[in-house]
């Protein structure tokens, strides 16, 4: 069996800097710009 690695781009939370390897990172679009935020920072984002 070949050692197949998935080529998944590592995303980084723009708020706390964590990576998608440690915490799930979501991608969203705000004012036409693509942003990335982890699930930990998402509630903060919602509450402003």
Which residues in this chain contact Zn ion in the complex, by CB under 5 A? 13, 15-16, 38, 41
What is the nearest approach in angstroms of Zn ion to the Cβ of residue 22?
10
Tell the smallest beta-carbon distance from residue 8 to Zn ion (Å): 18
Nearer to Zn ion, 3 or 33 (CB): 33
Q: Which is nearer to Zn ion, 4 or 17 (CB)?
A: 17
12 neighbors 27 (Cβ within 8 angstroms): no
How far is residue 3 from each of residues 6, 7, 9, 21, 44, measured CA to CA in Å?
10, 12, 18, 19, 39
């Amino acid at each position: 069996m070949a050692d197949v690695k998935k080529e998944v781009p590592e995303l980084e939370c723009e708020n706390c800097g964590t990576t998608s390897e440690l915490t799930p990172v979501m991608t969203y679009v705000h004012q036409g710009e693509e942003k990335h935020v982890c699930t930990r920072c998402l509630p903060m984002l919602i509450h402003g």
